[in-house]
Amino acid sequence: SDSDSKPLYWKVTNPTLSPSHLQDLPGFTRSVYKRDHALITPESQVFSPLPEWTNTLGAYLITPAIGSNFVMYLAKMQGLPMGAKWKDRAIWNPIIEKVERRISNDKKAYVADLMQFPNGVLFWDLEFLREIHDRELDSLSVFWNVIYGASLRGNSKSGLPPSDVERFIFVVQGAVTLANVSGVSHELIHKCWRGDQPLRVVFLVLYDSATDRDMSLESLLVDSYAYLPPNFQHSLKCDASATLVVFERRYASLEKYVTEQIVSSTEKQPLLETPGEIFELRKLLPTSLPYDFNIHIMDFQPGEFLNVKEVHYNQHGLLLLEGQGVYRLGDSWYPVEAGDVIWMAPFVPQWYAALGKTRTRYLLYKDVNRDPL
Ligand code: UGY
Ligand code: MN
């Protein structure tokens, strides 16, 4: 079907009721703002430059002004102009030409040449690396990861959250590079194209045995996420485009506990038991005491619904990633679809039923592990 050929979470950034589809219906929006809940649909999301970030537009969708203990925003990191191909970027060409020459002439020289790249990263065709990996790369302390896509240093960049504020980012489109001060970098990679085909590329990851520093870059795509503890130096970069959903919260510290940087992806998280419920549940953060919130990924097949008509002390920020259905909030029932954002205040009655022909998946902030007193 049509949706099968679209990238994961495509609907989030291309919703049915996107602003461009509403031009013939002036003044219409499904958005609502009430005392104990809000629905913020794509035609109401207002983007402006994010303070501290470069080349990034942000839409703050939930902030303490609404009564929340967190902020939730979408960040659109901008890179290449629409339609530009990665090969258009002048920066790639000298490197590509160099590699192409090396491959055809002398594979050993190519491998040696890799060591000269200051970022310790290069990329080339998967088959080629398979061929040389066993024989040569091991002995050079070179590790490699297989990915789809490639990235260099980006031209849009994140700022840091205020002090004592923790951050969670989830990639819904494109990819970014996450770097921290200790020199460990994780690549959240975007696709690049040769013609219209995604190109299979490999990142080489170098281990600098002289300084004993892990320079490794981990490749992470859409569906990847990162948790950054409070006061943790880091930067996110992007040189194509990327859309992130970001949660930030002033960390509610507990004596003797600290949180740690986490980089992973939804698919790596195990399905958890949901007694009395039929939806599928994954948690993106550890459930241990140091973490004062968690992010749930919940999947419903069409026709499935929450059994518990929940009323609880926790608050929620929700992004619908896939599918459509009806959300009950207080005494109102709302048709919702991918791209919609929901704020749920403590104790708002909440219930969801999935409709349509495809599964619903949503991402949910939930404050946990702290005494409400
Ligand atoms: O964990 C939760 O509170 C979750 N089941 N709530 C929700 O989906 N509205
Ligand atoms: Mn809930």
What is the model's pLDDT at position 228? 94
Torsion angle in degrees (nearest 10) through CA of 181, 182, 183, 187? -70
Q: Is the pLDDT of residue 148 over 90?
A: no
What is the model's pLDDT at position 23? 75
Residue whose Cα lies nearest atom 9 of ligand 1: it is: 350
What is the model's pLDDT at position 79? 63
What is the model's pLDDT at position 55? 87
Burial 105-117 (b: 16+ CB within 10 A, else e): eeeeebbeebeee
> Closest ligand to 368 CA?
1
Distance 355 CA to ligand 2 centre (A): 19
Q: Which helix (H) or strand (E) holds 360?
A: strand 360-367
What is the model's pLDDT at position 4? 64
Per-residue pLDDT band for 99 (boundaries 50, 70, 90) equals very low
What is the model's pLDDT at position 220? 57
Which ligand 1 atom is nearest residue 298's CA?
8
Q: Is the pLDDT of residue 339 over 50?
A: yes
Among 293, 342, 350, 351, which is best to mutate for testing ligand 1, by the most ligand atoms less than 8 A from CB?
350
Q: Average pLDDT, stretch 109-137?
A: 39
Beta strands in 2-94 (DSSP E): 32-33, 37-40, 48-49, 56-62, 71-77
Q: Average pLDDT, stretch 330-344?
A: 97
Q: CA-CA distances (angstroms) from residue 312 to 33, 101, 249, 330?
A: 20, 63, 20, 12
pLDDT in tens, 165-221: 999 999 999 878 787 644 444 444 323 333 333 333 333 333 333 333 333 344 457
Please give the Cα distance from 222 to 217 (Å, whole number).
Answer: 16
pLDDT in tens, 42-68: 999 999 999 999 889 999 999 999 999
- Say which range, 58-62, 111-115, 315-319, 339-343, has the weakest mean pLDDT: 111-115
Inter-residue contact 284 to 269 (CB < 8 Å): yes
Which ligand 1 atom is nearest residue 362's CA?
8
Which residues pair with residue 326 across a beta bridge?
A: 335, 353
Query: DSSP for 114-170?
Result: HTT-TTS--EE-HHHHHHHIIIIIGGGTEEEEEEE----S-SEE--PPPTTEEEEEE
Which ligand 1 atom is nearest residue 351's CA?
9
Distance 134 CA to ligand 1 centre (A): 48
Distance 118 CA to ligand 1 centre (A): 46
H-helix segments, 165-208: none
Q: Across the chain, what does the average pLDDT equal? A: 76
**The tokens of 356 are what?**
């349509």
Torsion angle in degrees (nearest 10) through CA of 57, 181, 112, 121? -20
Q: Is 48 exposed, middle or buried (0-12, 13-18, 19+ CB in 10 A)?
A: exposed
Please give the Cα distance from 62 to 31 (Å, whole number).
Answer: 13
Which residues pair with residue 352 across a beta bridge?
A: 327
Q: Is the pLDDT of residue 127 over 90?
A: no
Q: Is the pLDDT of residue 112 over 60?
A: no
Per-residue pLDDT band for 26 (boundaries 50, 70, 90) equals confident
Q: CA-CA distances (angstroms) from residue 245 to 72, 142, 207, 223, 318?
A: 7, 33, 31, 11, 10
Among 310, 329, 361, which is best to mutate for testing ligand 1, by the most ligand atoms less than 8 A from CB?
310
Please give the Cα distance from 161 to 357 (Å, whole number).
Answer: 39
What is the model's pLDDT at position 25? 82
Among 279, 287, 306, which is best to mutate for testing ligand 1, by the most ligand atoms less than 8 A from CB?
306
Pocket of ligand 1 (CB under 6 A): 296, 298, 310, 316, 350, 364, 366
Residue whose Cα lies nearest atom 2 of ligand 1: it is: 366
Distance 47 CA to ligand 2 centre (A): 28
- Say which range, 93-107, 117-131, 265-279, has the weakest mean pLDDT: 117-131
pLDDT in tens, 271-330: 999 999 999 999 999 999 999 999 999 999 999 999 999 999 999 999 999 999 999 999
Q: Is the pLDDT of residue 129 over 70?
A: no
Q: CA-CA distances (angstroms) from residue 367 to 199, 231, 245, 283, 294?
A: 40, 20, 17, 13, 6
* Higher pLDDT among residues 350 and 214, named by residue: 350
**The tokens of 275 are what?**
């007694």
Query: Is the backbone of residue 207 left (phi > 0), alpha (psi -120 to 50) or beta?
Result: beta
Distance 32 CA to ligand 1 centre (A): 20
Per-residue pLDDT band for 18 (boundaries 50, 70, 90) equals confident
With tokens 């219930």, the residue in question is 351
Distance 310 CA to ligand 2 centre (A): 6
Inter-residue contact 240 to 80 (CB < 8 Å): yes
The percent of residues in the chain predicted with pLDDT above 90, rounded, is 55
What is the model's pLDDT at position 180? 62
Among 39, 295, 320, 366, which is best to mutate for testing ligand 1, by the most ligand atoms less than 8 A from CB?
366
| pTM, rounded to two decimals | 0.75
What is the model's pLDDT at position 239? 61
pLDDT in tens, 230-252: 998 888 877 667 899 999 999 99
Which residues pair with residue 124 across a beta bridge?
A: 202
